[in-house]
Structure 1
Amino acid sequence: MTLKHLVKELLLLSGFTANSTSHSEKIISAFGGLISITGIIWLTNILIEAGTLDPSSGILVIASMGASAVLLFAVPHGALSQPWAVVGGHLISGVIGITCFKLFGNTFVIAGLAVGMAIGAMYYLRCIHPPGGATALTVVIGGSVITELGYQYLLVPVAVNLVIILVLSVAYNGLFKWRRYPAHLAHKLKKTVITKPKDRQFELTHEDFAAAMQELDSYVDITPEGLADLLELAKQHAEKNITHPSEIIAGHFYSNGKIGSLWSIRQIVDAAPINSRPHLDQVIYKVLAGDGGYETNICLRSEFHQWARFEVVKHQQQWIKVEADDL
Structure 2
Amino acid sequence: MSLLSGKEKLAPIPSFNTIIRGFWGGSISIFILLILGKLTNHLWIMAPFGATCVILYTVAQSPLAQPRNVIFGHFISAFIGMCFLKIFGVNFLSIAFSVGGAIALMQFFRCVHPPAGANPLVILLTANTFHYEWSFLALPVLLGAIVLVLVAYCVNNFKTESKWPTYGLALWKSKSE
State whether TM-score is above 0.5. Answer: yes
Which residue of 65, 73, 84 corresponds with 2:49?
A: 65
Which residue of 147, 167, 179 corresponds with 2:150?
A: 167
Q: Tell me what 1:30 maps to.
A: 23
TM-score normalised over the length of structure 2:
0.84
> Any conservation in 1 of the 2:123–2:132 contact (CA below 8 Å)?
no
Q: Tell me what 1:256 maps to.
A: none
More strand by share: 1
Q: Tell me what 2:3 maps to.
A: 10
Structure-2 separation of matches of 1:176 and 1:184: 20
Aligned length: 168
Unaligned runs of 5+ in 2: 169-177
1:107-155 C-alpha deviation (Å, 9 max, x unpaired): 1221111101111111111000011111121111112454x33221101
Structure-1 separation of matches of 2:8 and 2:74: 27
Q: What is the percentage of aligned positions where both structures have the same residue?
A: 29
Which has the larger Rg? 1
More helix by share: 2
> Any conservation in 1 of the 2:66–2:167 contact (CA below 8 Å)?
no
Which residue of 35, 47, 72 corresponds with 2:40?
A: 47
Deviant stretches of 4+, over 3 Å = 8-16
Q: State the 1:34 CA deviation.
A: 1.0
Which residue of 113, 119, 124 corresponds with 1:140?
A: 124
TM-score normalised over the length of structure 1:
0.47
SS of the residue 1:143 aligns to? coil
Unaligned runs of 5+ in 1: 1-7, 49-57, 186-327
Structure-2 separation of matches of 1:64 and 1:178: 29
User: Which aligned pairs between 1:1-327 and structure 2 lie closer than 5 A?
Assistant: 9-10=2-3, 17-48=10-41, 59-144=43-128, 146=130, 148-184=131-167
Structure-2 separation of matches of 1:130 and 1:76: 14
Structure-1 separation of matches of 2:19 and 2:139: 32
Q: Tell me what 2:174 maps to.
A: none
Structure-2 separation of matches of 1:72 and 1:162: 11
